[in-house]
């Protein structure tokens, strides 16, 4: 078994869509990044890559490569999913947390879980997505950005 931990953060800005877990969320600001800046999916990818000691998303999807400009992070997650399978592992579970003062994310979490599960070709029951605030503290509490954390368990799928 292998365990991986992931973390990501992006700054909020006007004139950008807010995409979390592949879901476009109505909000007056979105996250800034080379791709779609989906902090949840980025944290999940880093946890999965880390579990197998395969580096991080910057290694696999450099932000100076034009082919990743504005790309859906779900497409990048599909690549990571293939890496996991090629290494002979399967996903035991993923537990993740989005840290954002606003907007309220609870109504969108079922769709986030479903999107992630579909891309990873796993049951939605092993994908956990939670949301919390920092009670006005730090950059997320001041509504300057959104962060996400993820931990995963992988197991050897060798037959």
25 is in an annotated binding site: no
Phi, psi dihedrals of residue 73, rounded to the nearest 5°: -65, -25
Q: Are the C-beta atoms of 89 and 157 separated by less than 8 Å?
A: yes
60 is in an annotated binding site: no
Task: Find all residues with CB under 8 Å of 31, minimum gap 6, and list them.
Answer: 10, 11, 12, 13, 16, 18, 19, 37, 38, 39, 145, 146
144 is in an annotated binding site: no
64 is in an annotated binding site: yes
95 is in an annotated binding site: no
47 is in an annotated binding site: no
133 is in an annotated binding site: yes
Report the candidate in 83, 89, 99, 96 with the shortest Cα–Cα distance to residue 129. 96
56 is in an annotated binding site: yes
36 is in an annotated binding site: no
63 is in an annotated binding site: yes
107 is in an annotated binding site: no
27 is in an annotated binding site: no
9 is in an annotated binding site: yes
Instruction: Give the residue ranges of the annotated binding site.
Output: 8-10, 34-35, 42, 56-58, 61-65, 132-135, 139, 142
């Amino acid at each position: 078994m292998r365990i991986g931990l992931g973390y990501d953060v992006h700054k909020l800005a006007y004139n950008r869509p807010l995409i979390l877990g592949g879901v476009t969320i109505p909000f007056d600001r979105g996250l800034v990044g080379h791709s779609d800046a989906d902090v949840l999916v980025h944290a999940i990818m880093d946890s999965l890559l880390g579990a197998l000691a395969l580096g991080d998303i910057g290694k696999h999807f450099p932000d100076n490569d034009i082919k990743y400009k504005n790309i859906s992070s779900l497409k990048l997650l599909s690549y990571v999913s293939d890496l996991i399978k090629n290494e002979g592992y399967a996903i035991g579970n993923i537990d993740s947390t989005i840290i954002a003062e606003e907007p309220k994310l609870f109504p969108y979490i079922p769709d986030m879980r479903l999107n992630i599960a579909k891309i990873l070709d796993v049951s939605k029951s092993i994908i956990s997505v939670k949301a919390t605030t920092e009670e006005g503290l730090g950059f997320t509490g001041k509504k300057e950005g959104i962060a996400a954390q993820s931990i995963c368990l992988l197991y050897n799928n060798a037959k």
